[in-house]
Amino acid sequence: MLPSLDEIEAAAKIVYDHMPPTPQYRWEMLNQRLDVDLWLKHENHTPLGAFKVRGGLVYFDRLGETPELKRGVICATRGNHGQSVAYAAAKYGLPTTIVVPHGNSKEKNEAMISLGANLVEAGNDFQDALEHAEMLAEKESLHLVASFHPLLVQGVATYSLELFRSTQQLDVVYVPIGQGSGICGAISVRNALQLNTKIVGVVSTEAAAYSKSFEAGIPIEVLANTRIADGMACRRPNEQALEHILSNVDRIVEVTDDEVEQAMRDLFECTHHVAEGAGAAAVAAVAKESIDLKDKTVAAILCGGNVDRSVFASILMAG
């Protein structure tokens, strides 16, 4: 079940004990380049550089004193969920194990270690890492923090509450999809405020599990081979998230790695903000659909800015 407005507002109080609301700006140079009236929601401004921290703060505020968790917590991630878990769990003195696939972002790995996590590498993609985390959770009696959970949705929904309450009427909001907490948070707020805003999901053409599942109306597993949008590199959709997406999302747009990299360059040139691949994906989708967005007010979620320095430098130079 999606969270109510009262639950999201209660989650916001928890979040704001640790961080201020993030801004949403209209960047004139970016809008002129894309020829769209666009608001950009800056989730790269959180203490961990991504929206996921909101969910972790709420999850552990509600569960952090649970005796089961004292033995330790574990999760699988490509980086931002893991940072959120490590950051919030540390406030309760909980040992944290993070499982990532081989070849994961070097700097995201270092960030999780700096937050006190024990990092384990397993498998070749997120699904492999998740299955290994599930095995370790059972073997070592650890609490598994899934990437999609009602408390996480309550937390991350707070960025959509800020966005919808701070801007004029939005016609369309573009939201990147990893495991689905962000877009389900946006759906929750849109529905709770009884707005007519269309919500559009964004995935990579090289990690299209959610778009193919949306088309089919059932979960479809698709290999995830994106070279840049690791935050959306999902091979198998979360069934709970997919159920809400099928019922509430207008459509899902696929963007190529090249389009994502161009959006990363556009964002840096026009706003001097750094976006990781998933963070730029919504802007890539806006650029792709700009002709259809004439006379509309649009928002894109810059969901994170955690990209390795060498990767970002090569993308900027390639432009």
Element (H, E) at 315: helix 309-318
Domain ranges of the chain: 5-50+150-318, 53-144
Which one, of 183, 212, 232, lies nearest residue 77 by Cα? 232
Could you please state the CATH topology (level 3) that the domain comprising 5-50+150-318 is classified under. Rossmann fold (3.40.50)
Q: Which residues make beta-bridge pairs with 245?
A: none
Q: What is the pLDDT of residue 12?
A: 98
| CB 98 within 8 Å of CB 82 | yes
**Verdict on whether the full-model pTM lies above 0.75:** yes
pLDDT at 65: 84
pLDDT of residue 186: 98
Task: Answer whether residue 319 shows pLDDT above 80.
Answer: no
pLDDT score of 90: 95
Host H or E run for residue 99: strand 96-100
Q: What percent of the chain has pLDDT over 70?
A: 100
Number of residues written out for the chain: 319
What sign does the CA torsion over 264, 209, 98, 132 have?
negative
222-235 residue pLDDT tens:
999 999 999 999 99
Confidence of residue 207 (pLDDT cuts 50, 70, 90): very high
Rounded to whole angstroms, how far apart are CA atoms 127 and 77? 9
Q: Is 80 exceeded by the pLDDT of residue 317?
A: yes
Task: Report DSSP state, residue 218.
Answer: S
Asked if pLDDT for residue 148 goes beyond 80, the answer is yes
| 5-50+150-318 and 53-144 have identical folds | yes
Is the pLDDT assigned to residue 184 strictly greater than 80?
yes
- Does residue 1 register a pLDDT over 90? no
CA distance 215 to 102: 31
Q: At 275, is the pLDDT very low, low, confident or very high (cuts 50, 70, 90)? A: very high
Give the pLDDT band (50/70/90) at residue 35: very high
As beta bridge partners, residue 296 has none
Name which CATH class applies to 53-144: alpha beta
Contact 46, 53 (CB under 8 A): yes
Predicted pLDDT at 55: 98
